[in-house]
Amino acid sequence: ETGVTQSPTHLIKTRGQQVTLRCSSQSGHNTVSWYQQALGQGPQFIFQYYREEENGRGNFPPRFSGLQFPNYSSELNVNALELDDSALYLCASSVPGGSYEQYFGPGTRLTVT
């Protein structure tokens, strides 16, 4: 069984630039959630995708957007990067309903300078 994978592992961007992060869900999981984790904090929910549509959103501005593809993989796009966007971005996959357990990938470390 293949777990959740994310790319790239690390990324350095300049303030004002745009970034795209990628996630492949665990085999059999059709729901993908994205979280932002600042240093020393717990993960904060950004949004979730199910059947290629956004299915819930946390307190993040519209410059955070996403996509889900027919194979359940997903992208997180962040426009107009700010210094505070520097964080570990985590993708988690799950099966809707039932246990609500979410399984996380290794994350992408984004540094904005």
Is residue 29 within 8 A of residue 48, CB to CB? The reply is no
Contact segment (CB under 8 A) with other proteins among 14-22, 65-73, 77-85, 103-111 equals: 103-111
Which residue among 11, 67, 73, 103 contacts other proteins (CB under 8 A)?
103
Residue from 109, 110, 111, 113 that binds other proteins (CB under 8 A)?
Answer: 109
Give the residue, chosen from 11, 22, 30, 45, that forms a contact with other proteins under the rule CB under 8 A. Answer: 45
CA 38 vs CA 48, 80, 106: distances in Å: 19, 18, 15
Tell me if 91 sits within 8 A of 66, measured CB to CB. no
